[in-house]
């Protein structure tokens, strides 16, 4: 059982999430620049992946857009600062910001402890769901990370 739990824990959290009603799985897509988009209907929850937070080190500041702002696929919508570096964060999809994770303004380290769950950055009402076709599924993203290491 321990090895089963270890294997399950090793999987990216995003590939194991289920919506709060327990009936509809949330699909996850990944950009080559290490942002994730967890898709639930027409809404994408966006943040940096566990791979990205590990590479950045301890996150000390997160700069995010405002609710109502437009984001464009491939364009920077914010930034993260760590003890090692500062980095822009790029949107994997286009749309309108509907929610911002306010926890990160006081607790940016949440990105380090729970990047793909509590450490999400923004929620976006997608304007073009076909943009998801250009992103990687969890298996392809894992391969991308393995090749990047």
Alpha-carbon span 51 to 115, nearest angstrom: 9
How far apart CA 68 and CA 45 sit, in angstroms, is 15
- The confidence band for 16, taking pLDDT boundaries of 50, 70 and 90, is very low
pLDDT number for residue 25 = 57
CATH code for 2-148?
Answer: 2.40.50.100
Q: State pTM to two decimals.
A: 0.83
pLDDT of residue 74: 98
pLDDT: which is higher, 4 or 10: 10
pLDDT at site 1: 31
pLDDT surpasses 80 at 4 = no
Q: Among 46, 37, 6, 20, which residue's Cα sits nearest to residue 138?
A: 37
Inform me whether the pLDDT recorded for 22 exceeds 80.
no
Residue 2's pLDDT is 33
Q: What is the mean pLDDT of residues 98-121?
A: 97
* 134 pLDDT above the threshold of 80: yes
Domain residue limits, the chain: 2-148
Percent of the chain with pLDDT over 70: 83
């Amino acid at each position: 059982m321990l090895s089963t739990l270890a294997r399950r824990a090793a999987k990216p959290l995003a590939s194991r999430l289920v919506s709060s009603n327990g009936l509809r799985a949330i699909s996850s897509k990944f950009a080559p620049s290490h942002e994730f988009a967890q898709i639930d209907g027409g809404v994408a929850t966006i943040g940096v992946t566990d791979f990205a937070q590990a590479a950045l080190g301890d996150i000390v500041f997160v700069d995010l857009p405002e609710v109502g702002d437009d984001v464009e696929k491939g364009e920077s919508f914010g930034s993260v600062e760590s003890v090692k570096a500062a980095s822009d964060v790029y949107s994997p999809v286009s749309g309108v910001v509907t929610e911002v994770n306010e926890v990160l303004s006081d607790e940016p380290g949440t990105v380090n402890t729970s990047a793909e769950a509590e450490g999400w950055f923004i929620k976006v009402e997608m304007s073009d769901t076909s943009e998801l076709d250009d992103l990687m599924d969890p298996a392809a993203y894992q391969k991308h990370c393995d090749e990047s290491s």
